Structure 1
Amino acid sequence: MLEVLTGSGLAFAAGLNAYIPLLVMGLLARFTDLLILPPAWAWLANDWVLVILGVLLVVEVVADKLPAVDHVNDVLQTFVRPTAGGIVFAAGSGSVTPAVTDPESFFTSEAVIGFVVGLVLALTTHVAKAGARSVVNLSTAGVGAPVASTVEDVSSVALTIFAILVPVLVVVFIVLLVVVAIRVRAQRRRRRSLST
């Protein structure tokens, strides 16, 4: 069960920012004993991969803070974030972390299932994030974009760390995600009813 929470938390984090969970996993695997990646995903700890992920993270963080550019970024990230979510779910659910001590018992030969599950989870988070961001940008004339982006980045970092160290806290994030999605949807319905 903890494997599923670890993978899910990492995939949800990738839906907010594709590069944060990838980079954190790679750095932890490379420089600590907190995370041991399965052999198929060991390339995440490669020096060149870490440098590329770091550069992509900087580009993502800057682009996501600028109104209008953040919308274009979200469109491009519709393909990147779910892919990253698939990777981190498959790698995270099969890795050895302080909370996951028997990765062999989960997805031993069906890594593609983990990838697809992570892809769907990250896509769900990405769609909710993009929808909420549209509301923020419209209601604040773009001024709220940097604040919302910073909250998303901090949430992605926290969720990644929780998923690896205390995966049970991922359940709290899932509940919060559902609450936010319901509120965004209700707000859209109110706007539509007011405009008609």
Structure 2
Amino acid sequence: MSVLPLVFTSGWASGVNAYAVVLLLGLFGATGLSDDVPEALQRPEILVTVGVLFLCEAVADKIPYVDSVWDSVHTVIRPAAGAWVGALLAGQSGSVSDLTAALLGGSTALASHTVKAGTRMAVNTSPEPFSNIAVSTVEDLGVAGVVTLALFHPWAAAVVAGALLFTGLTALCFLLSRVRRFLRRRARRREERRTAAAVERPPGGAPYADRD
């Protein structure tokens, strides 16, 4: 097994949806479709737990602003999951040290998580909720496709994951400017409302409209 490309790909996917990665790998191993999946990922309690968490993420990830809160909570969880899966894959193959694989999986997961979280902040500046649903669905399908490809063609999957990560980081640089403009507009509107309220009801007095 080519473990390094598989670790890299699983790390990228963990940064997007760690529960989907563990669930998919575990199911592939438990059903005998792949012999490269560590037994720890195939345990029934692991599959049930990540299955429930995957369903929770599938809902939270499609609700505006809730998805950003969910991403904030998972800033540690996703890189940790990428490192854990990478170490398990390395232990399974025996060709790479657990520490090396954990560092590769965790750092890749952190990078892709940053792209995901930043992209969602930009998407949340849109007034309609359908873009969140579309982006979340594309992410889930992308994770499923790339992880499946990684088990059978690890180098090809690593190339795809690398291209997606590079594209995401590049796009994030442009999207962050949109987020900053959105935050400035919201702060300006909040300040305007406070100013208007102060004019209508000055401190210590009744509104100007109610005075004789």
* TM-score of the two chains, using structure 1 as the length reference: 0.83
How do residues 9-158 of structure 1 correspond to structure 2 at under 5 angstroms?
9-38=9-38, 42-95=39-92, 103-107=93-97, 111-158=98-145
Query: Counterpart in 2 of 1:2?
Result: 2
1:186 aligned to 2:183?
Answer: no
Unaligned runs of 5+ in 2: 185-212
Structure 1 segments unaligned to the other structure (5+ residues): 96-102
Distance 1:140 1:185, change over 3 A: farther
Q: Which has the higher contact order (CA 8 A, sep 6+)?
A: 1
Shift of 1:94: 4.3
Contact 1:7–1:163 under 8 Å retained in 2: no
Aligned sequence identity (%): 33
Mark the structure with the bigger radius of gyration: 2
1:166 is aligned with what amino acid? H
- State how many pairs are aligned: 183
Change (3 A) 1:191 1:150: closer
Deviations, residues 128-167 of structure 1 (Å, cap 9, x unaligned): 1111111122135443111111111111111111111111
TM-score by length of 2: 0.77
User: 1:93 offset after TM fit, Å?
Assistant: 4.0
Q: Which is further off, 181-190 or 20-29?
A: 181-190
CA RMSD of aligned residues (A): 2.4
Distance in 2 between residues matched to 1:80 and 1:31, nearest whole Å: 27
Structure 1 runs (4+) greater than 4 angstroms displaced: 189-193
